[in-house]
């Protein structure tokens, strides 16, 4: 008699427990999925809401720069993420035009951002990627770059040469 009662109670009591456990596991899966994807969503959306600011970076002592001729300097990109590693390194070409005047260009080609190099003999900046060529004042001499090299502000602060850095790469070409 008692046994019969147990069997008749089972389906009625197990059903709510099963429903509860199903909902609990779905809820926990949703929470875990949200926690895992949150950093990725933040990484993708962060640049939309927070524009990286330009920063002044020291690139060497004033006496290290001889008048004339471009020198390559390296600095940390102003917008690196914590795990950027070596990709956070950026560069610029600096020329000491006179005792007090400096000219600096971002190393990145304005076509697709490849690093340009200064060649002393023809006095041109060459881009190795698609043949972009720039004059020593940064204007385009040949190839696909749509605009001159990005000019960076330079200042002398306590005997050090500083450049105002900008996030890289700098490209004006949009993918369509
Ligand atoms: S990236 Fe320099 S020419 Fe294309």
Mean pLDDT per 10-residue section of the chain, whose length is 176 residues: 51 77 95 92 76 81 87 79 73 90 92 92 94 95 94 92 75 52
Residue 112 CA to ligand 1 centre (angstroms): 5
For residue 1, what pLDDT is reported? 46
Q: Which atom of ligand 1 is nearest to the CA of 116?
A: 2
Residue 148 CA to ligand 1 centre (angstroms): 12
Residue 140 CA to ligand 1 centre (angstroms): 11
C-alpha pair distances (Å), 26 with each of 11, 32, 84, 145: 22, 10, 35, 52
Q: Which atom of ligand 1 is nearest to the CA of 130?
A: 3
Q: Is the CB of 123 under 6 A from ligand 1?
A: no
Pick the CATH number of 55-165 from 3.40.630.30, 2.102.10.10, 3.90.650.10, 3.30.2130.30: 2.102.10.10
**33-37 long-range contacts, CB within 8 A, separation 24+:** none
For residue 174, what pLDDT is reported? 53
- Map residue 26 onto helix, strand or coil: helix
Residue 115 CA to ligand 1 centre (angstroms): 8
For residue 176, what pLDDT is reported? 46
Q: Is the CB of 78 under 6 A from ligand 1?
A: no
**Half-sphere CA count of 140, side-chain side, radius 13 A:** 12
Q: Is the CB of 112 under 6 A from ligand 1?
A: yes
Residue 60 CA to ligand 1 centre (angstroms): 28
Q: Is the CB of 111 under 6 A from ligand 1?
A: yes
Going by the DSSP 8-state scheme, the letter that residue 47 receives in this structure is H
For the chain, the domains span 1-50, 55-165
């Amino acid at each position: 008699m008692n046994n019969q009662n147990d069997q008749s109670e089972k389906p009625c009591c197990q059903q709510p427990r099963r429903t509860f456990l199903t909902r609990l596991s779905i809820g926990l899966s949703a929470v875990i999925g949200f926690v895992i994807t949150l950093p990725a969503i933040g990484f993708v959306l962060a640049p939309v809401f927070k524009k990286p600011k330009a920063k002044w970076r020291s690139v060497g002592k004033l006496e290290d720069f001889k008048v004339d001729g471009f020198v390559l300097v390296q600095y940390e990109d102003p917008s690196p993420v914590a795990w950027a590693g070596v990709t956070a390194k950026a560069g610029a070409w600096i020329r000491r035009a006179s005792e007090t005047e400096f000219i600096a260009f971002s190393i990145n080609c304005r076509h697709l951002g490849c690093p340009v190099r200064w060649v002393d003999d023809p006095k041109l900046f060459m881009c190795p990627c698609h043949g972009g060529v720039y004059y020593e004042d940064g204007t385009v001499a040949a190839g696909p770059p749509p605009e001159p090299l990005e000019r960076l502000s330079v200042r002398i602060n306590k005997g050090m040469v500083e450049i105002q850095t900008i996030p890289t790469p700098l490209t004006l070409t949009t993918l369509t």
